[in-house]
Amino acid sequence: MIPYGRHDVTEADVDAVVQVLRSDFLTQGPAVPRFEQAVAAHVGVKHGVAVNSATSALHIACMALGLGRGDRLWTVPNTFVASANCGLYCAADVDFVDIDPDTWNLSVPRLAEKLAWAQERGALPKVVVPVHFAGQPTEQEAIWALAQQYGFKVLEDASHAIGAARNGEPAGSCRWSDITVFSFHPVKIVTSGEGGMALTNDAALAESMAMLRTHGITRDPRRWQEGDGAAWHYEQQLLGFNYRMIDIQAALGVSQLQRLDAYVARRNALARRYDVALEGLPLQLPTVLAGNRSAFHLYVVRLKPGIAKKTHRLVFDELRRRGVGVNLHYTPVHLQPYYRGLGFLPGQYPEAERYGCEAITLPLYPNLTDAMQDEVVAALQQTLA
């Protein structure tokens, strides 16, 4: 089976990890700040806070933004559940904004409409979480303009998008947001095994996220509220967690990051090959907006209903039988049983729902060879014939 995604680990990565294993620090050593600085420098953000997953990063980001009971968080239905769950962790109410039918990202017109509607009812969101789906940057500057108009915070879920850019601006640069989150899960663009990072240009947000990742404790004497300078003194000032990234993970991340540009270039080259090879099949291919460079975390096609002769389910199962590890990103979050239990219903976000009935993620990763990709294309041609 050719999987839809796969990590790439080199001998240099192995050496970097082994070096940490032979060093004095397995955790809370120098590799974590080194990784934070490297990622922050790469996207041009001042502060990076590394944690054990993007899910943890989303959680502490929402907490640092002050999200709590009675507040609202909005995201898109076409995302991994973590983009929405972070709101529920903070006891906030979660709601969704439908997607654009071509980019499959948050629809800015739908967001503008929903904000106007919510303002009349006194029900504006405190935090909006746009997701750079499949690695394509969202229309972040337009979302930011609405944030200024309506007074909400913007938390970019850039789990798919490290290495992407919009009009030359790196995705996740926080130019048009308060906080950005990246994921370093093995299926993402670069990996630390498991891991995530929250980035911000705001020193106070960075400091509170750094405390929240480690129990809400500060060891910085300048922040202490009490204490007489005793050698044992530290202070817990918030209720935080143990969400720390360890040095073994950070060393892998630093080593992987050196190949980020090559990975994104290869992913784009493979995406262009798919674009050419799949033309003429009953499929809607990915649309990349002018000025955008996608990181192509995923290459998703949509079956054109009425033109394709087989159903989504049949095409999917047949591709799997032919050895192509296709996947679905995503079943709309509001249709998950847990969210149905919160009262969400089919029909609420029609674009995301239509998308979920048509989308197929094809294999795409740096070590996918042209020959393997040709096998995928042949399997798709035979299945749709």
Where does this chain bind ligand PLP (CB under 6 A)? 53-55, 79-80, 82-83, 131, 157, 159-160, 183, 185, 196
Q: Closest approach of Cβ 52 to ligand PLP, in Å?
A: 8
Cα angle 52-261-106, degrees, rounded to a multiple of 5: 65
Instruction: Please state, in angstroms and rounded to a whole number, the distance separating the CA atoms of residues 99 and 154.
Output: 17
Region label for 74, one of left (φ > 0), alpha (ψ between -120 and 50) or beta (otherwise): beta
**Could you count the other beta carbons within 10 Å of the beta carbon of residue 285?**
16
Q: Closest approach of Cβ 42 to ligand PLP, in Å?
A: 18
Q: Closest approach of Cβ 65 to ligand PLP, in Å?
A: 17
Closer residue to ligand PLP (CB): 160 or 334: 160
Q: Closest approach of Cβ 222 to ligand PLP, in Å?
A: 32
Instruction: Please state, in angstroms and rounded to a whole number, the distance separating the CA atoms of residues 131 and 181.
Output: 10
CB 130 within 8 A of CB 105: yes
Per-residue tokens: 46: 């001042």
Closer residue to ligand PLP (CB): 295 or 384: 295
CA 288 to chain centroid, in Å, comes to 17
Closer residue to ligand PLP (CB): 85 or 373: 85
Q: Where are the beta strands (DSSP E) in 212-270?
A: 217-218, 235-236
How far, CA to CA in Å, does 18 sit from each of 11, 252, 260, 362? 10, 10, 21, 34
Counting Cβ atoms within 10 Å, is residue 232 exposed (0-12), middle (13-18) or buried (19+)? exposed
Q: Closest approach of Cβ 160 to ligand PLP, in Å?
A: 6
Q: Closest approach of Cβ 183 to ligand PLP, in Å?
A: 4
Q: Closest approach of Cβ 295 to ligand PLP, in Å?
A: 12
Q: Closest approach of Cβ 312 to ligand PLP, in Å?
A: 21
For 379, what's the count of Cα atoms within 13 Å in the CB-facing half-sphere? Answer: 22
Instruction: Please state, in angstroms and rounded to a whole number, the distance separating the CA atoms of residues 98 and 343.
Output: 17
Nearest by Cα to 76 from 42, 45, 110, 33:
110
Closer residue to ligand PLP (CB): 153 or 379: 153
Closer residue to ligand PLP (CB): 83 or 138: 83
Closer residue to ligand PLP (CB): 183 or 294: 183
Closer residue to ligand PLP (CB): 159 or 268: 159
Closer residue to ligand PLP (CB): 53 or 268: 53
